[in-house]
Amino acid sequence: WYFRKIKRIEAEKKLLLPENDHGAFLIRDSESRHNDYSLSVRDGDTVKHYRIRQLDEGGFFIARRTTFRNLQDLVEHYSKDADGLCVNLCKPCVQ
């Protein structure tokens, strides 16, 4: 699910391919903020993007109230509970 340096528009094109369903997702490097990431999620016929910020002391968050040790923990959490996202994360985007 980690696609490194692909751009936002490329992420949208990939996620909207027919082989990806509602809830398909990927994580990519943020285009605008060094050391941050973006979570891109398919929501029906659109794609929503969320900034994943990195804490100074280590760890990651989308909403400051819920922090995670690593990106894997973040993905697992939002797969079980949308917790403010548009949809639960389902299958990773098809490469």
CATH code assigned at 20? 3.30.505.10
What phi and psi values does residue 54 have, to the nearest 5 degrees?
-105, 135
The answer to whether position 2 is within a domain reads no
Over residues 41-87, the pLDDT tens digits come to 999 999 999 999 998 888 999 998 899 999 999 999 999 999 999 99
Residues in the chain: 95
The answer to whether position 73 is within a domain reads yes
Number of domains in the chain: 1
pTM of the model as a whole: 0.93
The answer to whether position 34 is within a domain reads yes
Structural domain that includes position 21 = 8-80
The answer to whether position 61 is within a domain reads yes
The answer to whether position 15 is within a domain reads yes
The answer to whether position 37 is within a domain reads yes
Q: For the residues of 22-63, what is the DSSP string, one character each?
A: TT-EEEEE-SSSTT-EEEEEEETTEEEEEEEEE-TTS-EESS
